[in-house]
Structures are given as structure tokens and as C-alpha cells.
Amino acid sequence: MATDIEQLPPTPKPKRNRSHWLYLMVIVGVVAGVIVGLAAPEVGKDVAFLGTMFVNLIKMMIAPVIFCTIVIGIGSVRKAATVGKVGGLAFVYFLAMSTAALGIGLIVGNLLKPGTGLDFTPDAAKGAELADKAHEAGDTIDFLQGIIPDTLVSALTSGKVLQALFVALLVGFAIQALGKDGEPILTAVSYFQKLVFKVLSMVLWTAPIGAFGAIAGVVAQTGWSAVRELFVFVLAFYATCILFVFVILGLVLRLVTGFSIFRLARYLAREYLLIVATSSSEPALPSLIAKMEHMGVSTPTVGIVVPTGYSFNLDGTAIYLTMASLFIADAAGDPMSLGEQLGLLAFMIIASKGAAGVTGAGLATLAGGLQAHRPDLLDGVAVVVGVDRFMSEARALTNFSGNAVGTLLIGTWTKTIDRDRADRVLRGEIPFELDAAGEPAHA
């Protein structure tokens, strides 16, 4: 008996998950960036390109991730009506919630009036430059025409999320219509998805370097004096975003699903850290998709709601647009009338949908809105340029939270979520981990 036991092959030790080291390294990179930015501003400015390069690496992967996720999600569904129902509910929810966010920005801005009494010297050239950038996309018709790519392949190389989304929908429905003949194509796409996520996992290990460069650059350029001058405005904006996430979104999440917003925030803590380091919600998009699926939301629902929300459900950007507009008007000593505010609100409902969750897009959209409704205030955009990067973190965090909550709400309304599993995941009973290959290890 002893001999038989001795001859048994040794049990292989499971490979340890080292992903937690990545996030510790990100924290170190952020702290180092702050120190370098304050102690050696010139060095901080010189290394700022590291943050830009990291975000560009992530943006490089967004279109392939969206394409694979949506194609696999839709292609695996038998009835196209299911996709239509999910997409319709998502669109209505996104429109309602982003409009509410714009309204909250107006209410808080009118109550606090953070710009009152601020003396500033506007930079007309900077404001005009940002406005021109905001209007490069043209009017609504040009925006709709821009959704259609030149070719199927260019949708994955142009960097335009909506084009990738459009082509993925077409391909997904085409595979669905092919039936059994489309299964080999679906299998091929699934293999391509594994390759995409493997490349992405490699890219994410450069996050500490990117965080160091981004933080060092913004601290070196802005300094603490600009933060002090606009402290009330920045504090008011952060407080409004926190109020929106933990009160408004939290209440809706509790009433519809019964889940706690605090547990959801704890579940997404690593993604929040990555967003803070990069000031963009795009780096966390693939991880959000994986974590929503891990919670028990069906792949088709996640594949439709999350990528679409990244273009149409920008709650943080919506709050910023209205609050910043009121701030500039108050700072210039010429507050907006109620009629002007309502007109701006209507404009921003449309304009905010085109401000994809990329760092700096909110600032350009703000300039475009002011030029359209209060061109005399356009020069004041330069006032918020100094702290826009700090505020972009709150925008990105709020946008990300809104899409996470929206996915759970749509999943609940369409009954495409395993509520028991979701509850266990939020309680920490089924942890989300990455396997040795850097891919989600679903329990």
C-alpha cells in the first residue's frame, strides 16, 4: 500500500496569480509621479509622453475587443429580437440617465456658484483652438455618416468606437443568420478574442510606467497653485460625482436589482485604480466586460450594453459640461439666464453623446457648447484647462460606474443575469481572478 502511494505522481502546484503585483506597482508609479512632478517639474514634463503612450496602447486594443465581444455575443444568440430588446432598453436608459446627469450639474452649479468672485485673464486663442477641435466632427448628419466606415476592415483600424460597434453588429447578425454554417466563423472569432486578450494582458503590465509619466506630467504642468485657485470648483465637481454615483445610481441599483453600490464599487476597485492612474475609462473597458460576465450577466447583454455605454452613457462628462459652463459664466461675472441654461441643456444632451470616454474630449465639447450658445464666454474655457486633467479622473470614474450599473440594470430588466451568482460575487464568495495566461478565470 505504501509503495503504491509513493508511486503516485506529485500533484502539480497551481500557478500563483501575480496580477495583484501589477496594481501595487501602479500605486508606486502614481506616488513617484507626484514626487517627480513637484521636485523636478522639467523632468516631469519630459516624461509625460509615457502616459500618452500607455493610453495609446490601450486604445489600440479597444476596437478588436469590442468587435470580438459583440460578434460572439450576438452570433451565439438564436433570436435577433433578444438583441433588439437589450439595445432598445439600453438606449432609453442611457438617454434618461445622461439627461439626469446634465440636470444635476445645472442644479449644483446654480446652488454653489463656485465661479463667483474669481478673477481670471482669459486666453482667447486657447478657447478658439478647443472650439475648432470640438467642431471638427461637423453637425449631427456628419456624425451619423461617420458611423459608417470606408471598409469592414477599416472599422478595426480607424480607432473609432462607433464604427467598430456598427460593423460588429452587422457581422454578428450575419453569423446569426447563417445558422450552423456560421459556427466555424464564430469559433474563429473566439480564438481571435483569446489572442486579443493575451496581447492586452501584456500591455497592462506597462501600466505602472504609464501612470508614472501621466501623473508626473500633470503635476509638473499644473502645480498646486492652480489647484488652490480652482479648489472650490474641483471640490464641488467631485462631490457632485460622488453624490450621483452613490446616491442616484446607488438608489436606482438598489430599487431595481437589490444590489449594493458599495459592494459593486469594492468589486471594481482595481479598475478604479487604473482609471485614476490614466484619467481615462478606456483602459478598464476589457476588464469591465470580463467582470460583468463573471457576475453572471449574459455575454450578449454585456457585449451590447458596455461598448454602447462607452459612447452614449457618459454621466460624468454630462455633469462636467453643465457645471463647467456655469462656472465660466459666473467667473466672468455674467451668469447664464434660465433660458440660456435650458438651451445649453438641450444642446449638451446631443453633444455629450459624441464625447467618447477619452481624456480631453469633455474639454473640447465644453468649448463647442459655449461657442454655440454663449460665444462671449468661449475665452473662459482656458480657465479650466489647468485642472481639467484632475477633473477628467472624476469624469472617467463616474462614466465607468454608470456603465457598470447600467449593465446590471439592463440584465435585470431583460432577465439575462444570474442574480444568485451576482450576489455571491459581490459578497466575495466567487472572486474574480486572472489565470496564468492573463485571461479571466471564471469560477
Over residues 89-144, the pLDDT tens digits come to 888 898 889 889 888 988 888 888 776 665 554 544 555 555 555 555 445 566 66
- Distance between CA atoms of residues 32 and 43, nearest Å: 12
* Residue 367 resides in a domain: yes
Query: Which pLDDT value is given to residue 372?
Result: 64
* Residue 164 resides in a domain: yes
Query: Which pLDDT value is given to residue 83?
Result: 61
* Residue 223 resides in a domain: yes
For the chain, first and last CA: distance in Å? Answer: 36
- Distance between CA atoms of residues 300 and 286, nearest Å: 15
* Residue 120 resides in a domain: yes
* Residue 15 resides in a domain: no
Query: Which pLDDT value is given to residue 158?
Result: 73
Give me the number of domains the chain comprises: 1
Secondary structure of the chain: what % helix, strand, coil (to 5)?
A: 80, 0, 20
Task: State the amino acid at position 82 in one-letter form.
Answer: T
Query: Which pLDDT value is given to residue 175?
Result: 85
* Residue 436 resides in a domain: no
- Distance between CA atoms of residues 150 and 400, nearest Å: 30
Domain that holds residue 128: 20-431
* Residue 206 resides in a domain: yes
List of long-range contacts for 55-60, beta carbons under 8 Å, 24+ apart: 55/210, 55/214, 55/278, 55/280, 55/282, 55/283, 55/359, 57/203, 57/206, 57/210, 58/200, 58/203, 58/278, 58/280, 58/282, 58/283, 59/159, 59/282, 59/358, 60/203
Cell numbers 459578497 label which residue? 427
Query: Got the DSSP string for 67-112?
Result: HHHHHHHHHT-S-HHHHHHHHHHHHHHHHHHHHHHHHHHHHHHHHH
| Cβ atoms 68, 231 nearer than 8 A | no
Query: Which pLDDT value is given to residue 120?
Result: 53
Type and span of the H or E element at 157: helix 154-157
Instruction: Give, as one character, the DSSP assignment of residue 355.
Output: S
| Cβ atoms 287, 322 nearer than 8 A | no
Q: Which residues of the chain have pLDDT under 50?
A: 1-6, 8-9, 11-12, 14-15, 17, 79-81, 121, 123-124, 137-138, 226-227, 354, 356-360, 435-438, 443
Phi, psi of 159 (to 5 degrees): 80, 5
- Distance between CA atoms of residues 161 and 292, nearest Å: 20
* Residue 4 resides in a domain: no
The domain that holds 109 is classified in CATH as 1.10.3860.10
Cα separations (Å) of 166 from 100, 160, 272, 286, 429? 27, 10, 28, 18, 37
Q: What is the pTM for the complete model shown?
A: 0.65
